[in-house]
Amino acid sequence: MRVRFWGTRGSIASAGPETQGYGGNTACVEVVGTDGTVLVLDAGTGIRPLGPSVSTELARIDILLSHLHMDHIQGLGFFGPMFRPGLEVHLWGPPSTTLDLRARLTRYLSPPLFPVRFRDLPSRLELHNAPGRPVRIGCFEVTSAMVIHPGPTVGYRISEGATTLAYLPDHEPALGAGGFPISPEWTSGHDLAAGADLLIHDAQYSAEERADRIGWGHSSAVEAARFAAQAGARRMAGFHHDPGHDDGAVDRLVAVAAEAAPGVEVFGAREGQALEV
């Protein structure tokens, strides 16, 4: 599978010369399978520049939302393919015991927050709860599980053959704790990340910042790397960079995280970066 990062920032877009290296757009990752299947992970501001690159020959595209915080959905209305007549757009998102996914997303995709309503879109839009059991989307097997982050929030595990990508963009492995349990079965998200070839994981904070933000639903870069090592992931892309961190700050966090997990290839996800998994 081929992965490209279109948005790597967390919380709010943060564009400027000091963030050019890692990028300022919020969460959006494109995953393309060997048969051409396209998955889009989250719909932050990074989904807007993705739009023009989507082939006009594509008949279906799937958008997998981890949760419905603004930095993960605010690009939806600016995603060009949503306005293509006849294109199948499948939106997946976390289940809720109160409102269905359409009702929750309509709070944003409707006046006064946005001028275009779901019903006005010419694409063929279908909404689904994120799959708690494996489902087949083209060449991919996709599953999800609830993870610790205010939400509700899910993480995703995406496999094609023997290759696996895990996506946990907003994640605190143990809610309200300064670390996470040694025992994997008590660690949020462990089964999603287990043995992944690439883990994309929340690495927003330094250890000092994290100490003041316990319970916020995010990880320090060191925690992310240790989580990757515990899960047996081969590579970890630090993600959801803090909007207040410039490129130098992210570089330093990545370096410290790499030292904490020498058996894992640790790097910071950069907007525009493409790689084979």
For residue range 21-36, list pLDDT tens digits in order.
999 999 999 999 999 9
Look at residue 107 and tell me if it is in a domain. yes
The two tokens of residue 72 are 């993960």
Contact 199, 176 (CB under 8 A): no
Nearest C-alpha neighbor of 84 from the set 48, 57, 50, 113: 57
Nearest C-alpha neighbor of 5 from the set 274, 257, 277, 208: 274
Give the helix/strand (H/E) hosting 191: helix 190-193
Alpha-carbon distances of 194 from 46, 190, 191, rounded to whole Å = 27, 6, 5
The two tokens of residue 60 are 């279906």
- Number of folded domains in the chain? 1
Give the helix/strand (H/E) hosting 156: strand 154-160
Quote the domain boundaries for residue 30: 2-271
pLDDT tens sequence across 163-216: 999 999 999 987 666 666 667 766 899 999 999 999 999 999 999 999 889 888
pLDDT tens sequence across 231-271: 999 999 999 999 999 999 999 999 999 999 999 999 999 99
Phi, psi dihedral angles at 7 (to 5 degrees): -160, 130
**75 pLDDT band (50/70/90 cuts)?**
very high
Look at residue 112 and tell me if it is in a domain. yes
Look at residue 72 and tell me if it is in a domain. yes
How many residues does the structure list for the chain?
Answer: 277
Give me the CATH number covering residue 41: 3.60.15.10
